[in-house]
Amino acid sequence: MHFDTVKQQEQAYLMPTYGRFPAALVSGKGATAVDTEGKTYIDFTAGIGVNALGYCDPDWTKAVAEQAATLQHISNLYYSPVMTQLAERLCKASGFSRVFFGNSGAEANECAIKLARKYGTQTRGEACNQIITLNNSFHGRTVTTLAATGQDAFHQHFTPFTEGFSYADTNMESVRATANAATCAVLIELVQGEGGVCPLEPAFVQELAAFCKERDILLMVDEVQTGIGRTGKLFCFEHYAIQPDVVTSAKGLGGGLPIGACLCTERLGNVMNAGMHGSTFGGNPVVCAGALAVLDKVLRPGFLEDVVEKGAYLRGRLEAMDAIEEVRGMGMMLGAVLKKDNAKAVAAACVPNGLLVLTAKTLLRFLPPLTITKEEIDQGLAILQRTISDL
Ligand SMILES: *Cc1c(COP(=O)(O)O)cnc(C)c1O
């Protein structure tokens, strides 16, 4: 099938919710994607931080294919050894005690929000159900996670939104002014991804953690984008020397299959009881087999050090480019402010030149597969440089 046919079908049959780049991708290997016309692209996007091991990693593919051929789904009314293995692996590697599996980042955050409300109301009374999130955050597209998202642009069209959220700036004066006796939790991203790749200041995060601890306010970190090695640690909170009460994970965890995870510490392990939460597909065996293959690789000695090194390499090379004003982010989650402020035009112009790259707000954004090689980084950057020069 050719691109024009795909585009026509899209325009005829899909709700027009996405502005798409003009490429229909059909296969891939490592950090290279291939389109309907056989054209190849270096991929600096990893499906928005999803394909942690790149396209069709052989071990991941084998694990998923074998599980699909063995048992593709069971209801959560039965035990699943693949799910329990993943839960143990994830808890032991992260230091958390228990996990709930859903199917997306938004669902992982929904679980965290429910857990916080249940914990707040059962420990401090019915009124203790308010959650503080940060301005410029992004927490998902469900009606509740849109409400949690601290950007007015996301609070349009779908009223009424879920109540119970208030928004603070990334400083303690603002958090203190926003918190009150009804606050049960604070939900933050440590690097605001969709908001423009903005890492929070360690001093602010540490003070926030101490503030939450003092008042028994749950500190919940949305690691949907930052988790699973993206910033050079399994979870980004490890860079900040804090211990969150709840962490959510999704994007990179399944290596390309839909999964969300909400992790909590021991003392919160029994806040959610039987019947209070659930998901038909959550913890699906095929998806869990994929996630186990991802963790196997990411937790291998040297893997995360390699992410740090390649991230520093990519960052250094970006910083050396004339067209780039500033590079922000951590590990392999990077954003570049362009001197000409033309990130959208650059990202679009890269596509016909054979490079897939993202934007976030006004930045050019880089979320390559964690397994990308330096040679592939060089190839991608050569295309980027040429594209910027030709614009
Ligand atoms: C992508 C993202 C989400 C939403 O994840 P979905 O899987 O699209 O529901 C939530 N939080 C953060 C920080 C994200 O980057």
Residue nearest atom 10 in ligand 1 by C-alpha distance: 139
Nearest atom in ligand 1 to 222's CA: 13
Residue nearest atom 11 in ligand 1 by C-alpha distance: 139
Q: Is 192 in the pocket of ligand 1 (CB under 6 A)?
A: no
Q: Is 333 in the pocket of ligand 1 (CB under 6 A)?
A: no
State the distance from the centre of ligand 1 to the C-alpha of 137, rounded, in angstroms.
10
> Best of 51, 225, 231 to mutate for ligand 1, by most ligand atoms within 8 A of CB?
225
Q: Is 225 in the pocket of ligand 1 (CB under 6 A)?
A: yes
Q: Select 3-56+302-390's CATH number: 3.90.1150.10, 2.60.120.10, 3.30.360.10, 3.40.630.190.
A: 3.90.1150.10
Looking at residue 223, its pLDDT comes to 99
Looking at residue 279, its pLDDT comes to 98
Q: Is 83 in the pocket of ligand 1 (CB under 6 A)?
A: no
Looking at residue 361, its pLDDT comes to 97
Q: Tell me 55's DSSP state.
A: B
State the distance from the centre of ligand 1 to the C-alpha of 301, rounded, in angstroms.
28
Q: Position of tokens 């035990």?
A: 79
Looking at residue 366, its pLDDT comes to 98
What is the rounded CA–CA span in Å between residue 218 and residue 212?
6
Q: Is 139 in the pocket of ligand 1 (CB under 6 A)?
A: yes
* CATH hierarchy code of domain 71-298: 3.40.640.10
Q: Is 249 in the pocket of ligand 1 (CB under 6 A)?
A: no
Instruction: Delimit the domains of the chain by residue range.
Output: 3-56+302-390, 71-298
Q: Is 254 in the pocket of ligand 1 (CB under 6 A)?
A: no
Nearest atom in ligand 1 to 107's CA: 9
The alpha-helical segments, DSSP class H, found in 142-271 are 143-148, 172-178, 202-215
The one-digit pLDDT tens for each residue of the chain (391 residues) are 999 999 999 999 999 999 999 999 999 999 999 999 999 999 999 999 999 999 999 999 999 999 999 999 999 999 999 999 999 999 999 999 999 999 999 999 999 999 999 999 999 999 999 999 999 999 999 999 999 999 999 999 999 999 999 999 999 999 999 999 999 999 999 999 999 999 999 999 999 999 999 999 999 999 999 999 999 999 999 999 999 999 999 999 999 999 999 999 999 999 999 999 999 999 999 999 999 999 999 999 999 999 999 999 999 999 999 999 999 999 999 999 999 999 999 999 999 999 999 999 999 999 999 999 999 999 999 999 999 999 9
Q: Is 189 in the pocket of ligand 1 (CB under 6 A)?
A: yes
State the distance from the centre of ligand 1 to the C-alpha of 322, rounded, in angstroms.
32
Looking at residue 369, its pLDDT comes to 98
Nearest atom in ligand 1 to 106's CA: 9
Nearest atom in ligand 1 to 223's CA: 13
Q: Position of tokens 């994007």?
A: 251
Looking at residue 367, its pLDDT comes to 98
Helix (H, G, I), strand (E, B) or coil at 262: strand
State the distance from the centre of ligand 1 to the C-alpha of 70, rounded, in angstroms.
30
Beta strands in the chain (DSSP E): 25-29, 32-35, 40-43, 98-102, 130-134, 165-168, 183-188, 191-192, 198-199, 218-222, 246-249, 260-264, 324-330, 333-338, 355-356, 358-360, 363-366
Closest CA relative to residue 314, chosen from 121, 71, 95, 42 = 42
Q: Is 35 in the pocket of ligand 1 (CB under 6 A)?
A: no
Nearest atom in ligand 1 to 137's CA: 13
Looking at residue 374, its pLDDT comes to 98
Q: Is 183 in the pocket of ligand 1 (CB under 6 A)?
A: no
State the distance from the centre of ligand 1 to the C-alpha of 107, rounded, in angstroms.
9
Closest CA relative to residue 243, chosen from 212, 215, 209 = 209
345's tokens: 């035009």
DSSP string, 293-347: HHHHHHTSTTHHHHHHHHHHHHHHHHHT-TTEEEEEEETTEEEEEETT--HHHHH
